A and B are shown apart, each in its own frame.
Chain A
Amino acid sequence: MLTYLIRRILTSILVLFGVSMLVFSIIHLVPGDAATAILGRQKVTAENLARIRQELGLNDPIPVQYFHWMEKTLQGDMGTSIRNNLPVTRAIMDTLPSTIMLAFSALILALILGFVLGLVAALNHGTWIDTLAMGVSVSGLSIPTFWLGLLLIMLFSVNLGWFPSISTGSDAAALFLPTLTLGLPEASFVARMVRASMLDVLSKEYITAARAKGVPEWGVIMKHALRNALIPVVTFVGLQMASLLGGSTIVETMFARQGIGRLAVLAISNRDYPEVQGVVLVIATIYVLINTFTDITYTILNPKIRL
C-alpha cells in the first residue's frame, strides 16, 4: 500500500512538471511576440518593446526563463496581470472559492439526484419507471448546458421570478440556477452509471446467496449491492469534479458569476498571458490532485485493486 502511495504521488509530481512545461510554453507558442501583446494599449515602439522584453526576461535562453518562472510560481508569485496590473495569484484566489463552491454544489446535486434516479431505475428494471428515469437522464445528457441554462432562466427568473438570473456570492438563491445548470447533466451521468453498475452487481451470485440467506431486500441492496456498485461511480465522481471545475466556464459566463472559468475567458480574450498561464496551471494542478486522490480512494474502497 505504502509503495503504491509513494509511486502514485511521484507520478503526479512528474505529471505536474509536464503540465508546468506545457503551460510555460503557451507564451512561446503565441504567434508574434508576447511583448507586443502586452504593450496593448501603450504605444508600440522599439524602446517600449525592449523594455517589456527585459521585464519579461524574454531575452534569456528558454530553459533559464522556465527556471525563473518556476521559481517564482512555487513561491506563489504568478506574475502580474496585463489587464489590470494586479497579481495573478490574487485574481485566482479571489475567484477560485466561488468556482469550487459551485462545482461542489453541482456535484452534490448530481450525486443525490443521480443516485435516486439510478437506484429507482435499477430496482424497477424493465418497467415503465426504468424507461422514464432513463429517458430523463438521456435528455439531461443531450441538452447543451447553455441551452438548459437559458431555459432555466426563462422559467425561474423571467416567468416565475423565484431566482436571480445573475448570481453573485454563495447564498442559496444565487447558487440555485447555476447549480442546476451545471449539475443536471452530471446527475444524468451518475444515474446511468449507478443503474448499470447496480444491475451488474444485482445479477452476481453473492447477491442471490445473500437473498437465499434471508437478508432482507433493503439490506441486500444497501449493504451488499450498493457498496460494490459504488466503485466505478467513485472514479467517475473524481473525474467529474475536475470537469465540473472546467465546465463552470460556460455557466459562470451565462450567469455572470465570478469564478475561475470566467477569469480564464477574460484572460484569454485580453491576451493576458500571465493570467492565462496562472489559471491553466491552477486548473491543471487541481485535475492532477483530484486524479491522485481518486486513485487512492479507489484502492481503499477495493483493496483488490493495486495498480
Chain B
Amino acid sequence: MLKSNKLFAVLTALVVASLLLAACGAPTAAPAVAPATQAPAATLAPAAKAPAATSAPAATPVPATAAPAAPTLAPTAMPDLKGGTVTIGIANEPQTLDPGAAVMVQEQMILLNLFDSLLATAPDGTLHPGLALSWSANAAATEFTFKLRPDVKFHDGTPFNGAAVKASFDHVLDPAIKDSGARSLLVDHKYKETVVTDDSDVTIKFDSAYPTFLHDAARQWLSISSPTALTKSGKDYGRNPVGTGPFRFVKWDAQSQIVVERNPDYAWGPEYATHKGAAYLDQVVFRILPEAATRLTALQTGELQIAADPTALDAIDLNKSGKAVLETFAQPGVPAMMMLNTAKAPTDDVAVRKAMILSVNQDELAKTAFKDLGIPTYSVISPTTWGFNKDAAATYKFNLDAAGKLLDDDGWKMGADGIRVKDGKKLTIDYITSPTWEEAFNELLSGYLKKAGFDVNMRAMDDNAIGTEAAAGHYNMLYIYWTRADPSPLRNLFDSANIKDGSAYTRFVNADLDKTLADASTATDDKVRLQDYMTAQKMIMDNALVLPLFTVNMLYLDLPSVKNFEFDLEGYPWFYDMTLAK
C-alpha cells in the first residue's frame, strides 16, 4: 500500500513539476522589444548592410580607395579615460558567437565588438577600410579584390592574412552550419571561391552579381575568424570565438554572462572612430537578464551600467529623473507592420485590405503604445532608410469614413453586431500573434479594425507555432519587421518566388513586382536600384499588401557615468570608444 502510494507520489510530483515548469515557461519566453513573428530571418531582425539614410549607397563597384596611414599606437588615448567594466543587461542569450553561424540580434551586438570585417561601415553608411586597406570590384559585381592590412594579429596571436579570409569565407559553407545569416548571403549569391594571391591580396568570387557585397563584407556576419581557432575548436568554435576586434573573448557562463576584455594590441580601429589604439574599457560584461524589470532594477542598483530594451514607460521615467540616460535608435529597413495574406479571404480582396489600412490611426497607436518613443509609419520602408519613397508613404491616411465607404461599395454591409457581412460571411480577420507580444498593443489595433466593422480573431501561440501556421498560410495578417540599412528585404518579403519556403507572407503574385525586386537586388547601377526600390514601394502600397504600423525604436538606458555611447549603423551599441567616468 505504502509503496504504491510512494510511486503515485513520485509520479504526481514529476507531473506537477513538469506542469509548473511549463507554466513558468511562458513569461520569460520572448524578447521584450522584438515580439512575435514568424519568418525566422525577419523576426530575428538580421543584420544588414548597405548605407543608411544620409549617404548615397556605394553598392556599385568602388574604385580602390587610398589606404590611410596605419595608425600608430594609441596616441590620443589619454590615460584617465582608460579602465572600468561596463555591464550591459541583454534580454536574450546568443546561440553562438561564430560569425558564420550567427543569426540573432543579440549575437550581432557582441560580434561587432569581438570581430573586424574586411571593410567597416560608418554610422552614416559610408564604407571605410577595415581589415582591407583598399578594394576593387569587376564591372559585373562578381569579383572583389582586397588589399589586406599587413599588421593585424588575431587574439590568439595568429597573423591575419589572405589565408584567414579564405578560411573564414569557406567556413560559412561548412555543412555543420545548417542555416545562418552569412550562409544565406553566400548561397543566395552563389559564392564560388576565395583566391589567395599572396598574404595581402585576395579575390572573392561569386557566380551571380552581388552589388551589395562590399556593404555585407563590412558587417558582422562576414567578419574574419582566426583560421587556427576555426581548426582547433571545430564544432565548439561558437563558444570560443577568436577575432581581431577591439575586445577579445574571455568566457561564457551559460544563461548568465559573456565576458570580453580589451585587446591591448588593437591598432587597426576604423578611421571614423573618435580615438585610435586599444579600447578604453577594461571589460564589457553582457549579462543575460530576460526580464525587463530585472534589468531595470539592476540598473538602478548600479549592477548594470546599461540596460537594453526597457519598456517605453520605464525608459521615459528614468530618463526624466536624471538617473539614467535614454539612447534611442530608429531602426532602418522594414518597419513593424502587418503582412496581409492576399491568398486567403477576406484579405484576398484589395478593397478589404485598403479599408484595413485606412481604419488604423498610426499616430495615435504609436503614441499610446510607446508613449513619446513611437514613430508612426505609413509605408513598407521606414523613413530613415535609404531609398524611402515619400509618395508611397502618402498613399493612405487614417480615415474611418473612407474605410467604411470602401467596404460598403464592396458589398460588406454593417451587421447588427457591428461586424460587416457579405454573402452571409462575416468580415473576420484571422490574426496569429504571440502571447508575449504586448496585449495592449494588440487590443488597440483590433479596436481600430472593429470600429470599421472588422471582427479580429486573435490567436495567441508561441513563435514556433506561428512559424508553422505562417508556412501553411493560415492567417489574414501577420506581424513582421526587418532591420536593414537598405530596402533589400523587400525581395525576401514580396518576390513571389519566396511564397513557398520563404518569407513572402502576403502571397501576392505579380510578375512586374517580382521583376522590379529582382532587378533592384542585382543592378550594379545605384540609380537603377534606387528607382526600382521606389517603384516597388509604390506597387506594394497601391496593392495594399501591408498594414504599416510603426518604426521600431531600439532603446537603451545607461547610467550618466557611461560616456560616448555609440550606435553602429544598425543600432547595435559599439563599445570601442566608450568610456566610464570615475
A254 touches B95 (CB 8 A): no
A37 CB within 8 Å of chain B = yes
A284 CB within 8 Å of chain B = yes
A253 CB within 8 Å of chain B = yes
B301 touches A265 (CB 8 A): no
Residue of chain A at shortest CB distance from B468: A36
Q: Mark B5-39, 1 if CB is under 8 A from A, else 0.
A: 01100110111011011101110111000000000
A166 touches B298 (CB 8 A): yes
A243 to B22, CA, bound (A): 16
Q: Which residues of chain A are near B2, meaning CB under 8 Å?
A: 307
B462 touches A269 (CB 8 A): yes
Q: Closest Cβ of chain A: how far from B239's Cβ, in Å?
A: 8
* Interface locus among A115-123, A157-165, A201-209, A212-220: A157-165
Q: Mark A76-101, 1 if CB is under 8 A from B, else 0.
A: 00000001111000010011000000
A165 touches B10 (CB 8 A): no
A19 touches B14 (CB 8 A): yes
Q: Mark A289-307, 1 if CB is under 8 A from B, else 0.
A: 0010000000000000001
Q: For window 256-283 of chain A, which residues contact chain B by CB distance below 8 Å?
A: 256-259, 261-266, 268-269, 271, 279-280, 283
B40 touches A40 (CB 8 A): yes
Residue of chain A at shortest CB distance from B298: A166
Given contacts A164-B303, A265-B24, contact A257 B44 (CB under 8 A): no
B24 touches A249 (CB 8 A): yes
B303 touches A166 (CB 8 A): yes
Q: Which residues of chain B are near A258, meaning CB under 8 Å?
A: 253-256
A43 to B187, CA, bound (A): 14
A41 touches B44 (CB 8 A): yes
A133 CB within 8 Å of chain B = no
Q: Which residues of chain A are near B103, meaning CB under 8 Å?
A: 41
Residue of chain A at shortest CB distance from B13: A287
Residue of chain A at shortest CB distance from B89: A166
A86 to B235, CA, bound (A): 9
Q: Which residues of chain B are near A268, meaning CB under 8 Å?
A: 21-22, 24-25
B300 CB within 8 Å of chain A = yes
Partner of B11, one of A22, A243, A261: A22
Q: Mark A220-255, 1 if CB is under 8 A from B, else 0.
A: 000000000000000000000011001001100111
B291 touches A165 (CB 8 A): no
A27 to B20, CA, bound (A): 18
B289 CB within 8 Å of chain A = yes
B255 touches A95 (CB 8 A): yes
Partner of B24, one of A15, A32, A250: A250
A57 CB within 8 Å of chain B = no
Q: Which residues of chain B are near A249, meaning CB under 8 Å?
A: 20-21, 24
A191 CB within 8 Å of chain B = no
A271 to B3, CA, bound (A): 35
A265 touches B21 (CB 8 A): yes
A283 to B18, CA, bound (A): 10
B294 CB within 8 Å of chain A = yes
Given contacts A165-B294, A242-B13, contact A269 B30 (CB under 8 A): yes
A45 touches B501 (CB 8 A): yes
Q: Which residues of chain B are near A44, meaning CB under 8 Å?
A: 467-468, 471, 501
Interface residue tally of chain B, by bracket?
35 or more
Residue of chain A at shortest CB distance from B288: A256
Q: Closest Cβ of chain B: how far from A225's Cβ, in Å?
A: 27
Residue of chain A at shortest CB distance from B253: A258
Q: For window 1-56 of chain A, which residues contact chain B by CB distance below 8 Å?
A: 11, 14-15, 18-19, 22, 26, 32, 36-37, 40-45
A265 touches B25 (CB 8 A): yes
A257 to B6, CA, bound (A): 32
Q: Closest Cβ of chain B: how far from A265's Cβ, in Å?
A: 5
Partner of B464, one of A37, A254, A288: A37
Q: Closest Cβ of chain A: how far from B441's Cβ, in Å?
A: 20
Residue of chain B at shortest CB distance from A153: B297
Q: Which residues of chain A are near B253, meaning CB under 8 Å?
A: 94, 168, 258
Residue of chain B at shortest CB distance from A280: B18
Residue of chain B at shortest CB distance from A83: B95
A86 to B41, CA, bound (A): 21
Q: Which residues of chain A are near B301, meaning CB under 8 Å?
A: 157-158, 161, 164-165
B178 CB within 8 Å of chain A = yes
Q: Closest Cβ of chain B: how far from A236's Cβ, in Å?
A: 13
B17 touches A42 (CB 8 A): no
Residue of chain A at shortest CB distance from B27: A253
B502 CB within 8 Å of chain A = yes
A15 to B7, CA, bound (A): 7
Q: Which residues of chain A are near B300, meaning CB under 8 Å?
A: 158
Q: Which residues of chain A are near B288, meaning CB under 8 Å?
A: 256
B467 touches A266 (CB 8 A): no
Partner of A40, one of B22, B287, B464: B464
Q: Closest Cβ of chain B: how far from A201's Cβ, in Å?
A: 23
Partner of B28, one of A15, A26, A40, A265: A265
Chain A CB within 10 Å — which of B11, B17, B257, B291 has the most?
Answer: B17
Q: Closest Cβ of chain A: how far from B335's Cβ, in Å?
A: 22
A266 to B26, CA, bound (A): 9
Residue of chain A at shortest CB distance from B465: A32
A271 touches B13 (CB 8 A): no
B277 CB within 8 Å of chain A = no
A218 to B166, CA, bound (A): 80
B162 CB within 8 Å of chain A = no
Partner of A42, one of B29, B179, B239: B179
Residue of chain B at shortest CB distance from A263: B255
Q: Which residues of chain A are near B289, meaning CB under 8 Å?
A: 166, 256
Q: Which residues of chain A are near B465, meaning CB under 8 Å?
A: 32
A84 to B302, CA, bound (A): 31
Q: Which residues of chain A are near B89, meaning CB under 8 Å?
A: 166
B96 CB within 8 Å of chain A = yes
Q: Closest Cβ of chain A: how far from B225's Cβ, in Å?
A: 17
Q: Closest Cβ of chain A: how far from B527's Cβ, in Å?
A: 34
Q: Closest Cβ of chain A: how far from B136's Cβ, in Å?
A: 35
Given contacts A36-B468, A45-B501, contact A11 B3 (CB under 8 A): yes
A269 touches B28 (CB 8 A): yes
A147 to B25, CA, bound (A): 18
Q: For window 235-272 of chain B, which residues contact chain A by CB distance below 8 Å?
A: 235, 238-239, 253-257
B257 touches A168 (CB 8 A): yes
A37 to B297, CA, bound (A): 35
A43 to B516, CA, bound (A): 25
Residue of chain B at shortest CB distance from A26: B18
Q: Closest Cβ of chain A: how far from B1's Cβ, in Å?
A: 10
Partner of A253, one of B3, B24, B239: B24
Q: Mark A157-197, 1 if CB is under 8 A from B, else 0.
A: 11001001110100000000000000000000000000000
Q: Which residues of chain B are near A83, meaning CB under 8 Å?
A: 95
B462 touches A271 (CB 8 A): yes
13 extra A-B contacts, CB within 8 A, seeds A256-B291, A259-B255: A11-B6, A42-B40, A85-B95, A165-B303, A166-B287, A246-B17, A264-B21, A265-B21, A265-B25, A268-B25, A283-B14, A284-B14, A288-B10
List 7 A-B pairs, minimum CB-CB distance, nearest first: A41-B40, A268-B25, A269-B29, A258-B256, A258-B255, A84-B95, A264-B21
- B interface, CB within 8 angstroms of A: 2-3, 6-7, 10-11, 13-15, 17-18, 20-22, 24-26, 28-30, 40-41, 44, 89, 93, 95-96, 103, 178-179, 235, 238-239, 253-257, 287-291, 294, 297-298, 300-304, 462, 464-465, 467-468, 471, 501-502
- A interface, CB within 8 angstroms of B: 11, 14-15, 18-19, 22, 26, 32, 36-37, 40-45, 83-86, 91, 94-95, 153, 157-158, 161, 164-166, 168, 242-243, 246, 249-250, 253-259, 261-266, 268-269, 271, 279-280, 283-284, 287-288, 291, 307
Pairs A–B under 8 Å by Cβ, sample size 21: A11-B6, A19-B10, A22-B14, A36-B468, A45-B501, A84-B96, A85-B235, A153-B297, A157-B297, A157-B301, A158-B301, A161-B302, A164-B298, A168-B256, A254-B294, A256-B289, A263-B254, A266-B255, A268-B25, A287-B17, A307-B2
